Each structure stands twice: as C-alpha cells, then as structure tokens.
Amino acid sequence: MNKIKRAVKARLLPWFAANKRSMPWRSNRTPYRVWISELMLQQTRVDQATPYFHRFMKRFPSLKSLAAASQEDVLKMWEGLGYYSRARNLHKAAQIIAADYSGRFPRDPAEILKLPGIGGYTVAAIGSLAFNLDMAVLDGNVIRVLSRLTAYTTDTRTTTAKKELQQLADELLVKGDAGNFNEAMMELGATVCLPKNPQCGECPMSKVCLGHESGRPTDYPVKAPKKKTPHMVVGAAVVTNRKGEVLIAQRREKDMLGGLWEFPGGKQETGETIQQCIVRELKEELGINIETCGFLVTVKHAYSHFTMDLHTYFAKIKSGRPRPLECQNFQWLKISDLRKVPYSKADLNIIAELEKPNGLKKG
C-alpha cells in the first residue's frame, strides 16, 4: 500500500496535471457548477454531458435562477439525459438552499447530505472540488482503478466491497489536495484504465499495479453476473382531434419519469393485443373511449432496469372527454408545439415521426 501511496504523489498527480482534459466545469469552479456537473456525469460520459451542461448553465446561470424556475422548465433543460428524479431533486434542493441557506451552497458535508438527491459520492465530490475538503470519491472509474491496483477479489457490487474500497480511497487520499486526487483517479479510469482495453503502457501507476503485474488486468473489478434484464411491451396512442391537435398526458409526480409528458398508454397485459392494451389504458388513464387507426412507429428503448418496445398507433375518441384519472394533467397541442414541454427519449422519437412529412396522415 505504501508503494501505491507514494506513486499517487510522484506519478499520478503529475500525470494528471499534464494530461487532464479540458472540461467546462473545471473553469470558473463554484459549488453550484460542480454540483450540476457531477449529477450529469453520474449518468453519462463527458462528451455527452458537455452540451447539456452548457445549455443548463445558459438557462440557469446561478442557483438563484434555478430555484426560481418551474419544475417543468428544469425538466425541459434536463430532457434527454435520463434519470429525471435527479432533475426534480436538484430543483427541490436549490429551493431549499435559497430558503434555508440564504442562497449559499452549504460547506458542511452533513448539511450537504441533507439535500434531496445527494448521496455520499456527490458530497465528497462537492466537498473536495468546491471546498477543498479532504474527502475521497468512489465512482465506477475509481472502483476499477482501485480494484486493479490492489487485485481486489471481492464482488464490487456488494456493500462490503464498497465500504472496503471507500476505506482504501480514503487511505490513498492526498490530504490538502483532495480535488486533484479525486479528479486524477477518475481521469485515469476514464481515459487509461478502461474497462475492456486498459492502456497499461500509458498508465503512470503500472509499476505498482497488481492487476497489471498479474497479466490479467481485465479480471478486475470482480462482478457477479447480472440478472437477465426484464422486457416490457407497451402501447401508446397518438390521439388527434379535428383541429389537427394531439393529446398528451403528464406523468404523476410519484411515478417513474414523474412530471414528464407522454403519449398516453401503458403496459400490455397477458392475453390482449397491443390495440386492446391501448384502448384499455386510455380508458383507465383519461376516461375516454377510443378506437385505434393506423400504426405509427415502434420505439425500442433501454432503461437502467428494463428494456421496452413501445408500439404507437393513431387513435380517435369515440366517446368521453379527457380527464386526468391516472395522470397529473393533459393538454392538446399542435405538432409544431409539442416540443415546448419535456418528454422522455422514447416519446421524443414518436414526436420525430410525427414531424416527418405527412407524419399525421399515417393515421
């Protein structure tokens, strides 16, 4: 361990200083910018997160502006990133900071941890990067680096492993330079110590890495096989009226993708066709009796815990008027206005089909 610790100071930190990538959140570093960037980076790569970060900061340049915004506006700026509960929580947290902390991001880790949507990793990231507190982060990249450096053999998905790896990260932490240490570890995992093709010849830590010494660095980290991902078949309706408008519904706050808008529908049940599923779902969700018309598109989408085939059909109302029975709200919008509100990626694909020439005429 002492060899690794010495190599961190003598090799890793100088390597990071010379090779770190240019990222927008690394300049003009404030607690607010660190917070937003870390939430985005928890779910996507740097190159994907960068345009979202620029867009978000342009719309909400300060914590005050974020706290004053509507939730729908925040979700719209987050649209496409996924994990929308993070957007809802950061909005709530901004309002709490504005009300309870005079608009200043708290410095005390215990106070940061009280904010909605913030866990141990985010506290350590904000604490080290924004306030230079001696706190070590543990994300996927750091877990991989630590596992290979020490040839760690416990399944890293277990609680025991995460606790032990956090202790290891804490032991290696360079006191007084926690921000650079954390970023260096994450940068090494993101650019050199890669999951499938580690670039050991370029790694500043290779001489003290037990995984490299073994000749099988990709044996680490150790992970138990994942369970088979469930698959779901879903039906959705593009309900149109005589004005050429389309009916959309807003998901309830407590539901998955809460606050987002969608083309109404739901999961297919055993023994029913997809058209029967759509008819039943719209009756339950909006209290309307519909008939399906032409087929529009099937969208295939993968979430973190299931995959989905979303079969979308045009539909007309036979009887009844829409009411928000199992949704938060509904509205009729022209095709040209659909993108004014936030959706999940799957529904954005449906909109893209509708926007094509003669898109509505398929129905």
Question: Which residues are annotated as part of the binding site for 8-oxo-dGTP?
Answer: 251, 262-265
Nearest to 124 by CA among 141, 140, 113, 136: 136
The answer to whether residue 253 is catalytic is no
Give the CA-trace dihedral at 339, 344, 349, 355, to 10 degrees: -10
> Residue 248's beta-bridge partner residues?
331
Q: What is the gyration radius of the CA atoms in the chain, in angstroms?
A: 24
Report the binding-site residues: 251, 262-265, 285
Three-state SS for the chain is CHHHHHHHHHHHHHHHHHHCCCCHHHCCCCHHHHHHHHHHHCCCCHHHHHHHHHHHHHHCCCHHHHHHCCHHHHHHHHCCCCCHHHHHHHHHHHHHHHHHCCCCCCCCHHHHHCCCCCCHHHHHHHHHHHHCCCCCCCCHHHHHHHHHHHCCCCCCCCHHHHHHHHHHHHHHCCCCCHHHHHHHHHHHHHHCCCCCCCCHHHCCCHHHCHHHHHCCHHHCCCCCCCCCCCEEEEEEEEEECCCCCEEEEECCCCCCCCCCEECCEEECCCCCCHHHHHHHHHHHHHCCEEEEEEEEEEEEEECCCCEEEEEEEEEEEEECCCCCCCCCEEEEECHHHHHHCCECHHHHHHHHHHCCCCCHHHC
Which is catalytic among the residues 38, 79, 183, 281?
Answer: 38
Residue 263 in contact with residue 347, Cβ under 8 Å?
yes
- Active-site positions read 38
